Amino acid sequence: MAKLYFRYGAMNSGKSTAMLQAAYNYEERGQHVLLAKPAIDTKGADEISSRLGVSRPVDFLIAPDDDVRALFAEHRARVRRDADASLVPESNEHPVDIACLLIDEAQFLTRDQVDDLLRIVVLEGIPVIAYGIRTDFQTQAFPGSRRLLELAHSLEELKTICRCGRKAIYNARLVGGRFVFDGDQVAIDELSTARVTYESLCAEDYLRASGGRLG
């Protein structure tokens, strides 16, 4: 049975690397995958990039008002057409289909778009693996992550460490190298006049940096 997977972790826990590895594993076995990410994530434009220097283009971007199931159907049909065009007439090869849909930065999806992912899994029989972070720099859940935590068949935490060596679970925002705890939920460096970066922290170091503030 196909399942909806949510693989989450703090910043720099290797989510994009894990996603690219999953895509490679499918394709090494001759299977086809589709890769997508929300259009709001302008880092790397239409690419998925890992900190290890590996990258590849996405098959489609998801705008905030997009119907993800319809987008998936469109690109699934394209893959099938391209495969059919390459087959020798009267070939005995099996029809090509998508083995898995992989979503990067899934926290930026809307609630309705996560619902679409579940429909793809249940009604189309295609596994979906979504990668993202649970909470923002104020420890508040992103709408997409909250819905994935509610709906996913399988939850898997990808771990990383804090500067102190403990497990990091929170994402702290820095502007110009200084921690900030106020501002919009989404602040991507390319859209900002000041340099925006993030650091993964354990609970102790997050509270120390925020002066005990949560949210």
From start to end of the chain, where are the E strands? 4-8, 32-38, 47-49, 55-57, 60-62, 98-103, 128-132, 154-157, 170-175, 178-180, 196-201
pLDDT means per 10 residues, the chain with 215 residues, are: 96 93 96 96 77 88 97 95 66 76 97 98 98 96 97 97 96 93 76 76 96 87
* pLDDT score recorded for residue 92: 52
List CB contacts of 85: < 8 A, sequence separation 6 or more: none
Active site residue 105: yes
Q: Measuring CA to CA, which residue among 62, 59, 52 is closest to residue 21? A: 52
pLDDT score for 94: 57
Cβ atoms of 58 and 46 closer than 8 Å:
yes
Q: How many CB atoms lie within 10 A of CB 136?
A: 21
CA distance 44 to 113: 22
C-alpha to C-alpha distance for 193 and 180, rounded to whole angstroms: 15
Evaluate whether 12 touches 163 at the Cβ level (below 8 Å).
Answer: no
pLDDT of residue 214: 87
Q: For residue 168, give every residue at least 6 positions away whose Cβ sits within 8 Å of its Cβ, in sequence order, or none.
A: 10, 13, 159, 160, 161, 162, 200, 201, 202
Q: Of these residues, 47, 90, 105, 124, which one is catalytic? A: 105
pLDDT of residue 190: 46
Look at residue 183 in the predicted model and tell me its pLDDT: 86
